[in-house]
Chain A
Amino acid sequence: MADVAKVNPTTPAGRHINERPLRKFLFGNRAALGSLAVFVAMLLLFFVANPRVFSTWGLYAAVLTTLPVALFMTAPLVFVVTSGEIDLSFPAMMGLASLAFAVVVQAGYDPFVAIAAALGVGALVGFGVGALVVYGGLSSLVATLGMNFMLRGVILILTNSKSIAVPQLSDSLAFQITSTEVWGIPVQILWAAAFVIFCALLYNRHRFGAQVHVVGDNPDSANEMGINVNRTRVKVFAFMGVGAALAGVFSTMINFTWWPTSGDGYLLPVIASVFVGGTPPWGGIGTVIGGAIGALTVSFIQTGVVGAGLSGFYVQFFYGLIIILSLLGHRFNQTRYR
């Protein structure tokens, strides 16, 4: 018995070494913490380059106004990537869902009705894309690329490529609670943060999240254990549609205008955010919080580079630099188990 006690690496509380709270936290969140380190290092670099500009709150407030749109899509995309798929059609989903939002608002309905319409359209389009990929047995990379073009085409055909102004939003209750400022903080970021936390819980502490992990890790095993692999994958795409719809609603709220290009600019930054955040591309594991930090990093690059006094021509270079450095960092921070 004495021997057993000697080799038993438990804490005085009798916990296994892997169950010690700090160790568990560090190991369970190593990818997210890695992304946080990248973000902090980048911020420090910018701060050193131009302390005056980076001490003003206005700069951060500007980022916090536009960041939410990316967050609403980054978090669901982590689910998609974890399930072993990819979605390149979310920009068009965002465009289509926010088109529904703008049309319903313009028709004189309450913006809350319009939000419901946008969510409905987003979920439906996401479901459609998912069903096509899963039941059509298509590569999600190629099929969603095609769907992005096709859905954007549908948007252009439906609207004759004309934008929709919705100034009436400014005095609606929906606008008051989603898009104003509280003590200098844009309210959007609070909604986005709430959404990210909800997604993180769904990802780690919900049956859906658990099944998404398993399906992405080993779909054959998941099937053998009675999980409906196809249905799980379709749900993931539908969830992506819901996130894209929320992004579209918030983006339209900020601008009081819906543009036919709505969503287009988010394709690459959002995908980059997921990977910069520490979700590996092979499926099975990932991190929602890391993805959110990745989105923060990516959306800060442009502001940061210009704020640091460099010309705008440096922005793309820094995008690439941060993405590559993050990938290298995660590469050494995570082992891939097979």
Chain B
Amino acid sequence: MAERIIELKNITKSFGSVYALGGVSLHVDPGEVVGLIGDNGAGKSTLIKILAGVIKPTSGEIFVNGEVVNNWSPARSRAAGIETVFQDRALAVQQSIVRNIFMGRELAGRFGWLDLNKQVSEAERLMREIGFTSKVFSPNSIVGQLSGGERQGVAIARAILKQANLIVLDEPTTALSLTETAKVFHFVRQVRASGRSIVFIGHNIHHVYDIAERFVVIDRGRVAMEKRKSEIGSAQELIEYMEEVARPEQAKLEELV
């Protein structure tokens, strides 16, 4: 078996006295689609921000291609071929589409001077590739003028700029229209067909069930379940399980009342 693209081992993260994550392990193998699900505040976003190097874990180890890494950072995460489409899309809305796509990864010569023409033509190519074209905007349009779906398109185009090994999508369909959601799913299938891995985080279990091959359920900072699709009968079963996970707390509350 090929080495795991990334593996997080026993990750904990506390904000002051609040534990957001209490020892979570997560790995992604080459070419698989992992569905990361859990209730609001379960720690999904914290976990993927640790994966992306944005948040430093309180403790735990990170392995890339089987080797432990130190000083994990956003730049290192991207250099390792991990691209993240953040929930808030991480765009600079006063800047052009091109500048957003090449944010932190500008095409420049030896002395740092930008190759603007190449950036524009690359941006056009990427936008065509993900079916994200319009007569209304051009690569030099300001992101602030775009709709939510179009902005998501910019964030996705940025994620596939380099041949990433792993693309992490944090709630990519939130606040999108049906056609825009369909576009995102089309994109996910495209990426999977090209043999790259995906971590898909979502609220809509039906969506996640359709797309993912392996499911990791996070509940209150811990992994509550990890199963392959073959081990689960249907999306309904997954939903029932999620409800069961949420129940103990409810039961406790009822006892108190």
Contacts and interface: CB of A to CB of B under 8 A. Distances in A.
Given A205-B114, A206-B112, A213 B99 contact: yes
Give the interface SS of chain A, mostly helix, strand, loop or mixed: helix
A30 to B, nearest CB: 12
A220 B90 contact: yes
Contacts of B75: 226-228
Contact of B86 (A9, A201, A224, A335): A224
B144 interface: yes
Contacts of A221: 86, 90-92, 103
B95 A213 contact: yes
Contacts of B94: 213, 217, 284-285, 336-337
Given A210-B106, A227-B104, A19 B93 contact: no
B4 interface: no
Contact of B103 (A17, A28, A214, A335): A214
Interface residues of B, number: 38
**Interface residues of B: mostly helix, strand, loop or mixed?**
loop
Given A225-B90, A226-B75, A337-B93, A214 B54 contact: no
Contacts of B90: 218, 220-221, 224-225
Nearest to A219: B92
Contacts of B116: 205
A222 B135 contact: no
A210 B102 CA distance: 9
B17 to A, nearest CB: 22
A225 B106 contact: no
A284 B104 contact: no
A218 B106 contact: no
Contact of A8 (B95, B114, B135, B158): B135
Interface of B: 52-54, 73-75, 77-79, 84, 86, 90-95, 99, 102-106, 108, 112-114, 116, 135, 137-138, 140-145, 158
23 contacts: A7-B135, A18-B140, A18-B141, A19-B140, A201-B113, A206-B112, A206-B113, A207-B112, A211-B104, A213-B99, A214-B95, A214-B104, A218-B90, A221-B86, A223-B54, A224-B86, A226-B73, A226-B77, A226-B105, A227-B104, A285-B95, A335-B144, A337-B143
6 closest cross-chain pairs (CB), A and B? A337-B144, A226-B75, A225-B104, A217-B92, A221-B90, A16-B138
